[in-house]
Amino acid sequence: MLTLRYLVRLIRAFLTRFKGILFLSFALGILSFVILNLLGPTLLSRSTKKIGITGRFRTDNLPDFIINNVSDGLTKLDESGVVEPSLASSWETPDKGKTWFFYLRDDIYWQDGKKVTSETIGYDFSDVEIETPDEKTVIFKLSNAFSPFPTVVSKPTFKKGLLGTGEWRVKNITVAGGYVQELVLTNKEEGKIIYRFYPTEERAKLAYKLGHVDRLINIYDPTPLDSWKSVEIVKESNDNQVVSIFFNVQDKYLSEKSLRQALVYAIDKESFDGERAYGPLSPTSWGYNPQVKTYGYDESRAKELIEELDEEQTKDLEIKLLTTPILLPTAERIAKYWEAIGVKTVLQVSSGVPADYQALLAVFEIPKDPDQYSIWHSTQSSTNISNYQDPRIDKLLEDGRAELTILERSKVYLDFQRYLVEDSPAAFIYHPTSYTVNRK
C-alpha cells in the first residue's frame, strides 16, 4: 500500500528529473497567453468576407462603395455633392470652365509604394486633352465649358494593374463575357473581401442559400430570407435613386401635359416601400428644391383632368407600362391606380426599352451633380428617353453648366426642377428601400 511519504518522494523525484521541461512548458504557456491577448483580435479580424452583389458590371463601372475603398479621385464629394480636395489639393479654371488645372498633393503614393505623379494619373476621357507640364500639375482641356468637371474627376483613378491609393488592394479579378464575376480585395489589417456578382436577385439569393456568400448588399426584395432566424436584415433608403415613370412625350396620348399630370395625381406615392420622392434630384443634394409641385394623391383631380381633354385625345386610350421584373409588383399597383381613373393599362416586362414605348417604370440613378443635361436636353437623343423637348428647360440646363459657383448654379437648378416637375415628362414616385442580408 502506498504511503504518504512514498508519494512525496515520487513527486519530488519527478519534479527533479523533469523540472527543465516543466519550466519550459510553463513559460511557453504564459507566452502564448500574452501573444493571443495581444494579437488575437487582429488575427480574428483578418477574416474572409464573401459578399454577393446584384447587377452586371464591367471593370470600368464597378459600384462606388467598392472602388472608393481601392483608390481615390482627384476630388471627392461630401454627402450633399459638394466637391472637396482628395488627390488634388486645389484646382482652378482660367477660362470659365473650359480648361481645368489640378495640383497634386505631395504625400500620396500608389499601392506599389511609388509616388503619385501627374503622369501616372489614369483618366481617359473622350474629347478631353490632358497635359502634364510637371509632376504635380494635371491640365484638362475640354471642347466646351463644363462647370461640373471637378465632380467628374471624383471618380477613383488607377495605375496599370488596378493599383490604387486606397486601403484595399485588388488581388484578383475574374471577368467573363466582358462582365466582372468575382473581385477579391485584400487589406493587411482586415483580411480579404470576395465580391461575387449575380445578374438577378434570385440568383444572388440562391448563392446565399448555398453558402457561396455570407452577405447580400442592395437587395430590393429580401424574401424569403427575412424569415430565417439565422439572418439579420438591415434596411436603408437610397436617396441617390428614384423609382420613376418616364413618359414618352412623343406618344399621341402622352404628348398631352394634362394626361401626364392626371396619371401622376392618380398614384398614391406614400403607399410604396420607400421615401416619397418629389423630383429628379436627391433630397441631400446642394441643388435640391423642396418647393416643387407635390402631386399629392388626388383621384378626383386626376379624373377632372382627363374629362377636360377632347374626346379625340382620349379615344381608345390605353397605356402600356413597361418595366423590369424586379419592379413588376410596383407596376401592378400603379396599373390599378390608373385603371381606377378609367385609363386602361397593359403591363409589359422587358430588359430593353423599345423606341416606341409609352411609359417606362425604372430605377433612375440620380447623377452626383445636379447637372442632368444628358437626360432632359432636347439634343440628347440617345439618353433623353422621354424624347422631351422644351426650350426653357434646355436653356436652364445650358446655364447650369456655364455658371461656376454653387450659389449661381443652385438658382438655375431650383428653376429647372420647378418647371420640369410641373411639365411632368416623368413621375418621380419614391426613393427605393434596399436591404442588406447578413448571416448571423
Whether residue 245 sits in one domain with residue 373: yes
> Is 114 a member of any domain?
yes
Amino acid at 32: S
Whether residue 136 sits in one domain with residue 256: no
| Pairing verdict, β 215-219 and 47-54 | parallel
Whether residue 417 sits in one domain with residue 278: yes
Residue 160 is predicted with a pLDDT of 87
pLDDT in tens, 97-113: 999 999 999 999 999 99
Residue 4 is predicted with a pLDDT of 52
> Is 309 a member of any domain?
yes
- Residue 276 belongs to what domain range? 241-432
- Residue 215 C-alpha cell reads as 452577405
> Is 158 a member of any domain?
no
> Is 356 a member of any domain?
yes
Q: Shortest CA distance to 314 belongs to which of 353, 392, 240, 256?
A: 256
Q: Rounded CA gap, 302 and 67, in Å?
A: 45
Whether residue 347 sits in one domain with residue 250: yes
Whether residue 272 sits in one domain with residue 417: yes
> Is 52 a member of any domain?
no
> Is 426 a member of any domain?
yes
pLDDT in tens, 229-281: 999 999 999 999 999 999 999 999 999 999 999 999 999 999 999 999 999 99
Whether residue 249 sits in one domain with residue 138: no
Which of 25-29, 169-173, 399-403 shows the lowest mean pLDDT across its residues? 25-29
Q: Rounded CA gap, 322 and 345, in Å?
A: 10
**What is the distance between the terminal CA atoms of the chain, rounded to a whole angstrom?**
58
| Of 92, 124, 152, the domain-final residue | 152
CATH number of the domain residue 88 falls in: 3.90.76.10
Whether residue 353 sits in one domain with residue 249: yes
Band (pLDDT 50/70/90 cuts) for residue 19 is low
Residue 42 is predicted with a pLDDT of 46
Amino acid at 162: L
Task: Say if residue 134's pLDDT is above 50.
Answer: yes
> Is 440 a member of any domain?
no
Chain-centre distance for alpha carbon 186: 22
- Tell me the pTM: 0.86
Whether residue 143 sits in one domain with residue 279: no
Average pLDDT, the chain: 92
Whether residue 251 sits in one domain with residue 145: no
Task: Say if residue 181's pLDDT is above 80.
Answer: yes
Whether residue 246 sits in one domain with residue 144: no
pLDDT in tens, 49-86: 999 999 999 999 999 999 999 999 999 999 999 999 99
Residue labelled with grid coordinates 471637378: 150
Residue 133 is predicted with a pLDDT of 98
Residue labelled with grid coordinates 420607400: 274
Task: Say if residue 31's pLDDT is above 90.
Answer: no
Separation in Å, CA 387 to CA 17, 21, 169, 227: 94, 86, 43, 43
Percent of the chain's residues with pLDDT above 90: 84
pLDDT in tens, 388-418: 999 999 999 999 999 999 999 999 999 999 9
* Across 223-233, average pLDDT: 94
Residue 201 is predicted with a pLDDT of 95
Q: Rounded CA gap, 217 and 66, in Å?
A: 11
> Is 8 a member of any domain?
no
Where is pLDDT greater, at 312 or 3?
312
Whether residue 245 sits in one domain with residue 100: no
Task: Say if residue 15's pLDDT is above 70.
Answer: no
Residue 367 is predicted with a pLDDT of 96
CATH number of the domain residue 321 falls in: 3.10.105.10
DSSP type of residue 69: H
Residue 65 is predicted with a pLDDT of 94
pLDDT in tens, 350-396: 988 888 899 999 999 999 999 999 999 999 999 999 999 999 999 99
Residue 43 is predicted with a pLDDT of 44
When divided into structural domains, the chain yields a total of 2
Tally of CB atoms within 10 A around 48: 11
Task: Say if residue 342's pLDDT is above 80.
Answer: yes
* Across 22-38, average pLDDT: 56
Whether residue 275 sits in one domain with residue 377: yes
| Of 152, 172, 200, the domain-final residue | 152
| Of 99, 120, 152, the domain-final residue | 152
Residue labelled with grid coordinates 427575412: 226
